[in-house]
Structure 1
Amino acid sequence: MLTPWIELSVWKDDLTRHVVDAVVNAANEELWHGGGLAGSLVKAGGFEIQEESRRLIATYGKVPTGQIAITKAGRLPCNWIIHAVGPRWTGSQTSIDLLRAAIKNTLDYVCIQNTHIKTVAIPALSSGIFQFPLDLCTHTILETISLYFQGKQPIRYLKEIHLVSNEDRTVASFKDAAENILGKMELSPWESPGTTPSSNVMLQIGQGQTLQIVQGCIELQTTDVIVNSGFLHDLKSGSVSQSIVKQAGLEMERELDKVNLSSDYQMVLVTKGFKLSCQYVFHVAWKFEKKQQILKDAVKTCLEKCLQLDVNSISFPALGTGLIEIEKSTAAMIMVDEILAFFKMHMKKTLTVRIVIFPVDVETYRAFCAEMMKRSNELSLSSNSVLSVPQWTRGEQRGGLEAGSPAINLMGVNAEEMCEAKEWIERLLTSEEHHIIENNHILYLGKNEHDKLSQLQTASGVSISETVSPLKAMLEIRGAQADLIEAVMNVECMLCEVQGEVARKKEKSLFDLLGQWTNKEGKLDEMEKFHTYLRYPVPLTQELEDRKRQFEKCGLWVVKVEQIQNNALMAAFLEKKKMMEERMPRGPGSQRLFQQVPYQFCNVVCKVGFHRLYSTPHDPVYGAGIHFTKSLKKLADKVKKTSSTDRLIYVFEAEVLTGSFCQGNNLIITPPPLSPGALDVHDSVVDNVSNPETVVVFNGMQALPQYLWICTQDRTLLQHQMWGQDYSSGLAMVSSPPQSWLEVSYGSTV
Structure 2
Amino acid sequence: MLLVSCKCNSAPEASQGNAFTFDFFAPSCDPRSSFLCLTKGKSWKITKEGKFQCTAQIHNVEDGAASSFSHSKANIVPEIRYHKQISKNLKVSVWKDDLTTHKVDAVVNAANEYLSHGAGLALALSQAGGRVIQETSKEIIKQVGKVPTGKVVATPAGNLPCKMVIHAVGPCVSKGATSRELQEASALLEKTIVNILRKAEYDSMQSVAIPAISSGIFNFPLSKCADIIATTVKDCSEKRMPGARTLEVRLVNNDSPSVHQMERACCQFLGSSDPLPKKNQVNAKTQSPFPSLDLGNVTLCLKKDAIENETSDVIVDTIGQDLNLSSGQVSCALLKKAGQKMQEEIKQFKHGLASEGDIIATSGFYLSCKEVYHIVCSTTKWVKQILQSGIKKCLWKASSDGYTSISFPALGTGNLGLRKDEVSQIMTGAVQDFAETYTGPKIQIFFVIFPKDTDTLKAFEKKIDSTSTRLQNSRSPNGKSPGFHDSPDIRKEPAVEIIAPSPEALREAKMWLYKILHIHSGCVQINNNNIMHLSQKDHERLMSLQHDYNVVITEFFKEGRGGIIINGESVGVHCAAVEVEAMLCQAQEDFAHSEEKEMLGDLDNLGQGQQIDRMSNKLYKKTPLIEWDKKDKMKFFEKFKLRVVKVEKIENPVLKELFDLNCKRIQAQPKRLYQCVNAQFCDLTCRVGFQREYAPPKAQRGGAGIYFTSDLRKVTSLWPENEEEYLYIIEAQVLTGTDTHGSPDLIVPPPIGRDPLVCYDSVTDGRDTHIIFNGQQAYPEFLITCTKQGKESYI
Q: TM-score range by the shorter chain?
A: 0.3 to 0.5
More helix by share: 1
Query: 1 or 2 for the larger relative contact order (CA 8 Å, sep ≥6)?
Result: 2
TM-score, normalised on structure 2?
A: 0.38
Q: Decide which structure has the larger Cα Rg and report it.
A: 1
